[in-house]
Amino acid sequence: MTKIATHITLLFVLTALIALGIAYPFLSGDYDRLAVPISTMIQVFGLVGLGLVPVGALWLLIPKYKFGFAITALIIGTFVILIISLFATLSVGKSFGVLSILLWMLCIVVLIPKLKSLNLNTENKSNWLPVYLIYLPIFTLLLQLTIAKPLTQFSRNRAIENAYRFIRHIEEYNSQKGQYPLTLQAQNKDYYPDVVGIEKYLYAPHKKSYNLSFEQPRFLLNIFGTREWVVYNPLDENSVYSHTAWLLPTEQAEPSQGWYASGNTKHLHWKYFLFD
């Protein structure tokens, strides 16, 4: 009973950590630059980690081959970590990707004695390892599919609502000076989205008005590879660009923008733009 209680507690703790890690970028709080990469890495595990599920199921059904299944799980797990490390490299940098691989190598060193004990133990006793192999990837995938839409809407709405103080001050400046600020770039931001995965608001003059925008964090499977920018423009001339070079003077009356889809939010003068 003590062993069962220990594993149930561990599964509960892992469940809570996975849920928090996935949801973290979409929660209220100060900006954390590692929030989105960590959430993405966990979500990747929920997708590519499904390769561990059949191994766990077979392990439960045919426990006498536990050593072979353990080796297979270790090999598949290594490929899973390599893919996760790739996402870590793309989202943060090479050092983060290398760190992920080093941590997995440390785990392998710890697991080797346990693998040897499985090979030496010929008794077909029940083992909790296959339960972890089955439960964790499935839970991780189902969780992100369940909470993706409500959490994305929550974080987007919060960042929009927190922008209105910024917008009010911009409009007050316009009333006093007769024009909108030419730039609001400064060392301290002063106006915060209060969403962990959103760093800041970006202000840019545009024609007779301006665009105020932020990048909205997205779930991995919510149109894979898509980046979303949410933009406010008081004259509904919302625009956001994928390349700085497109903003430089050209012969075109209006430079290309680069988004492949856009739409209205539920908030007046706010639109979203999707980039691949």
Residue 117 has pLDDT above 90, yes or no: no
Regarding whether 136 and 77 lie in a shared domain, the answer is yes
**Mean pLDDT over the full length of the chain:** 92
Pick the last residue of a domain from 147, 180, 211: 147
Regarding whether 162 and 118 lie in a shared domain, the answer is no
Tens of pLDDT, residue by residue over 30-44, are 999 999 999 999 999
* CA pair distance 35, 21, nearest whole angstrom: 8
Pick the last residue of a domain from 114, 147, 180: 147
CA 81, 83, 87 angle in degrees (round to 5)?
110
Regarding whether 8 and 142 lie in a shared domain, the answer is yes
Q: Look at residue 212 in the predicted model and tell me its pLDDT.
A: 97
Regarding whether 174 and 115 lie in a shared domain, the answer is no
C-alpha of 18 from chain center: 12
Regarding whether 167 and 131 lie in a shared domain, the answer is no
The mean pLDDT value for 208-229 works out to 95
Residue 269 has pLDDT above 90, yes or no: yes
What are the backbone dihedrals phi and psi of residue 24, each rounded to the nearest 5 degrees, phi first?
Answer: -50, -45
Go through the chain and tell me how many residues it has.
276
Look up the domain containing 117 and give its range. Answer: 2-147
Q: Look at residue 254 in the predicted model and tell me its pLDDT.
A: 66
Tokens of 46: 């929920």
Strands 202-206, 270-275: parallel, antiparallel or unpaired by DSSP?
unpaired
Tens of pLDDT, residue by residue over 156-210, are 999 999 999 999 999 999 999 999 999 999 989 899 999 999 999 999 999 899 9
Regarding whether 104 and 169 lie in a shared domain, the answer is no
Q: Look at residue 192 in the predicted model and tell me its pLDDT.
A: 96
CA 81, 225, 249 angle in degrees (round to 5)?
130
Q: What letter represents residue 233's amino acid?
A: N
Q: Which residue has the higher pLDDT, 122 or 70?
A: 70
Q: Look at residue 119 in the predicted model and tell me its pLDDT.
A: 73
Total of domains in the chain: 2
Whole-structure pTM value: 0.89
Residue 272 has pLDDT above 90, yes or no: yes
Contact 208, 219 (CB under 8 A): no
Tens of pLDDT, residue by residue over 73-104, are 999 999 999 999 999 999 999 999 999 999 99
Tens of pLDDT, residue by residue over 3-15, are 889 989 999 999 9
The mean pLDDT value for 233-239 works out to 95
Regarding whether 252 and 136 lie in a shared domain, the answer is no
The mean pLDDT value for 241-269 works out to 83
